[in-house]
Amino acid sequence: MALTLEQIAKQAGVSRSTVSRVVNDHCSVRTEVRERVLQVVRETGYQPHAAARSLVTRRSQIIGVVIPEAVTTLFIDPFFPLLLAGVTETCNAHRYHLMLSLFDRPAGQEEMYQHVLGSGYLDGVIVASFRLDEPLIPDLLEKGIPFVIVGHHPDKRVNYVDADNVGGARMAVEHLIRLGHRRIGIIAGPQNMPGSQDRLLGYHQALDAHRVPVEQALVAEGDFTESSGVTCTQQLLPAAPTAIFVANDAMAVGALRALRRAGLQVPQDVALIGYDDVPIAAAVEPALTTVRQPITRLGSMAAEVLIGILNSPNGAGGPPHKVILPTELVVRYSCGALRESPSRGQ
């Protein structure tokens, strides 16, 4: 529980008003008294709530977006700019400012979390791309900071907005089955992330529903990067898949590159389906069949849910929000359903 001014005053042996003047850097405090108060502040880790200090409403109109990924990932993965575009649009419409929190090294992640949890500048937080062991989530719950996750979370107290990852993956794999494929590989995402688990579950559900045996040799786990798509495809090729479902488009582009290196044509030798429908999916040759999830809408909806919570009585917002947005299959040339790929000039 956060310390109060009264508790700091008691430990320092001064009045509450004196502590208030010190933390607000008021000049009318004797040097020795100021140092005594600051010593207690340093020892206890007390951080004054800046928004509560400056606004009668106790609101800063600032929403934080926390992406528990290294800053380099933000500039490599096209998912995040699309997500942030949706968050920004909704925040602007409701006159909220946006603060993006990133880290550039492992030690910086802990520093970022301390800032997010302790600064008091944020009215609420949106968390994207989290892992199941992410320490920020229980800390946010404990401190009572309003937050919404992009991606579902097993804790029933958590507000989240997600896409139908199970349904989207199942739709993609069933499409391949309808095209006659039975040896269908998957390049899954990291299995400590709920969305990755869901896409792998959708793959299994599709195979089970059509009585297609599951072979472990046809399952590989990547990390959502293009390079891992290359590596995982090389891992799958000895099992001779005739089709591969890939859990995001970046890895699918890597898979396409690996197949070409192996002398295989897409879709003639191996059909390929990705996930996300980021701009690169339509730009590669052959154009990538993929599952479109509404990435920008995910960001916009997460902000809408959070702002709704903040504007509700006492910031409670009622029962936790669980929002699942639909996905759709975008059929292009990499799956083999369309016979001829148009030239780049068309």
What is the mean pLDDT of the segment spanning 133-144?
A: 84
Mean pLDDT estimate for the chain:
86
- In a shared domain, residues 32 and 124: no
- In a shared domain, residues 137 and 72: yes
Percent of the chain's residues with pLDDT above 90: 55
pLDDT at residue 142, rounded to an integer: 85
| Residue 28 CB neighbours (<10 A) | 6
pLDDT at residue 6, rounded to an integer: 82
Burial class (CB in 10 A: 0-12, 13-18, 19+), 104: exposed
Q: What CATH number did the domain enclosing 16 receive? A: 1.10.260.40
Residues with Cβ within 8 Å of 247's Cβ and at least 6 positions away in sequence, in order, are: 169, 186, 187, 188, 189, 196, 199, 200, 222, 224, 275
What is the mean pLDDT of the segment spanning 36-51?
A: 73
What is the mean pLDDT of the segment spanning 25-50?
A: 76
Q: Provide the CA 205 distance to its chain's centre, in angstroms.
A: 24
- In a shared domain, residues 285 and 309: no
DSSP secondary structure, 63-98, as one string: EEEEEEEEHHHHHH-THHHHHHHHHHHHHHHTT-EE
What is the mean pLDDT of the segment spanning 279-285?
A: 95
State the Cα–Cα distance between residues 162 and 325, nearest whole angstrom. Answer: 6
Percent of the chain's residues with pLDDT above 70: 84
> 298 with 325: CB under 8 angstroms?
yes
pLDDT at residue 49, rounded to an integer: 56
The closest of 321, 320, 322, 341 to 331, measured between CA atoms, is 341
Higher per-residue confidence, 343 vs 334: 334
User: pLDDT band at residue 338, thresholds of 50, 70 and 90?
Assistant: confident
- In a shared domain, residues 215 and 135: no
User: pLDDT band at residue 32, thresholds of 50, 70 and 90?
Assistant: confident
Q: Which domain does 184 fall in, by range?
A: 165-293
